């Protein structure tokens, strides 16, 4: 009987301690909710506009000109649907078949649904370079992310 009582006391203290720590401000998480938008696996930014979605949220990304040049400015336009209170939008571009470092591209708000920016890609020793373009949208209580594919020719 003493063993059962001891286990019950330990269990109650454990649950009470856990709940106390969850209520204590240093252990409360105020980090924004992360949401991944899903893009089509067959869409390449060097060929067309690509779209990623999650529920009603939609992000479309377009690069110009086509084909995407190396060592020359590339214009990026991001169109958004159902995203509220967006504070910032950016892209991270990194090589997939060869390490080329990465570029962070801050986009500028044009209106509530459109953001734009520019970047240029370096020349690589590979004849065809594959890139991953990750879009990050920071809203007041949420962070949206979507990944896209891009290929360039030397």
Which of the residues in the chain have pLDDT under 70? 16, 20-30
Query: Based on the domain organization, do 55 and 83 belong to the same domain?
Result: yes
Q: What is the domain count for the chain?
A: 2
pLDDT for residue 140: 83
- For the residues of 90-107, what is the DSSP string, one character each? EEEEEESSS---EEEEE-
CATH number of the domain that residue 83 is part of: 2.60.40.1930
Query: Based on the domain organization, do 66 and 109 belong to the same domain?
Result: yes
Query: Based on the domain organization, do 44 and 107 belong to the same domain?
Result: yes
Query: Based on the domain organization, do 108 and 59 belong to the same domain?
Result: yes
Query: Based on the domain organization, do 142 and 130 belong to the same domain?
Result: yes
pLDDT for residue 12: 83
pLDDT for residue 10: 82
pLDDT for residue 105: 97
Report CA-CA distances (Å) from 100 to 34, 39, 46, 123, 144: 27, 24, 18, 9, 25
Query: Based on the domain organization, do 63 and 128 belong to the same domain?
Result: yes
Domain of residue 78, residue span: 31-153
Query: Based on the domain organization, do 6 and 37 belong to the same domain?
Result: no
């Amino acid at each position: 009987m003493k063993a059962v009582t001891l286990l019950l006391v330990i269990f109650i203290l454990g649950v009470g301690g856990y709940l106390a720590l969850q209520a204590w401000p240093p252990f409360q998480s105020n980090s924004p909710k992360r949401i991944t938008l899903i893009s089509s696996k067959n869409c390449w930014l060097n060929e067309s506009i690509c779209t990623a979605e999650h529920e009603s949220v939609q992000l479309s990304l377009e690069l110009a000109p086509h084909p995407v040049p190396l060592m020359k400015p590339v214009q990026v336009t991001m169109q958004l649907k159902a995203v509220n209170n967006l504070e910032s939008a950016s892209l991270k571009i990194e090589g997939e078949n060869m390490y080329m470092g990465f570029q962070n591209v801050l986009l500028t708000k044009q209106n509530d649904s459109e953001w734009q920016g520019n970047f240029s890609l370096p020349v690589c020793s590979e004849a065809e370079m594959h890139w991953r373009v990750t879009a990050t949208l920071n809203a007041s209580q949420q962070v949206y992310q979507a990944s896209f594919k891009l290929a360039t020719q030397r």
